[in-house]
Amino acid sequence: MSILLVRHGETALNTARIMQPPDTPLSARGHAQARAVALRLAREPVAGLISSDLLRARQTAEVIGAHGPGHPVAWRPELRERDFGDWRGQPYDALPQDPLHMAEAPPGGESMQAFADRCVRAWRALLALRALLPGPLVVVSHGLTIRQWLAHLPVHPDGAVLTARLGNTAVTVVDAVPPHTVLLYNCTRHLGPGLQEGGHSLSGG
């Protein structure tokens, strides 16, 4: 009984540390990462596949779906990354505040509270969907969104502390049964040489 959370593959704007517009596509390495995680998940008895409707997540989910048992991908806008409004397309390191941690809304964007509330609603919907399925649910989303879902969940005693940044196509496994223990966090063992991202790459935004 599990939910498999997958961050999208790499984009050129991740590596350039640019806040990403909605239509940001995967890079060539991002597509290769998506194929790698798809082959990993193809060995799981996946019963459902759902994704953020932002392009980078959609492309990742489509690759996963193509290598899996043929489940159609359901697109959900509530699984999106936090909306950074007018700051999307801007260099992260040149912004007047750290957008990944600021409480107030960026110009034209979403406050931390509004984002957190949306994530709560989305998480409840995912749990309800998982309860209807006979096997694991794969959810493709974004770094900040996944971190928000995990913020108040218990961690398995043998698991990692939830402090490491989420890598591109990192797999995180959560028990679908309350209290929804995090069983595996930020696992990228499916990424071989040349597919691991650099530590400078932006995770979130």
CA angle 136/140/146 to nearest 5° reads: 95
Question: For position 159, what pLDDT does the model report?
Answer: 65
CB atoms inside a 10 Å sphere around CB 58: 18
Whole-prediction pTM: 0.95
At residue 5, does pLDDT exceed 90? yes
Across all residues in the chain, what is the average pLDDT?
Answer: 93
CA atoms of 112 and 130, how far apart (whole Å)? 26
Q: Where are the domains of the chain?
A: 2-187
Non-local (6+) Cβ contacts of 189 within 8 A are none
Active-site amino acid positions: 8, 81
> Which CATH architecture fits 2-187?
3-Layer(aba) Sandwich (3.40)
Summarised one tens digit per residue, pLDDT across range 82-141 is: 999 999 999 999 999 999 999 999 999 999 999 999 999 999 999 999 999 999 999 999
Instruction: Say whether pLDDT at 160 is over 70.
Output: no
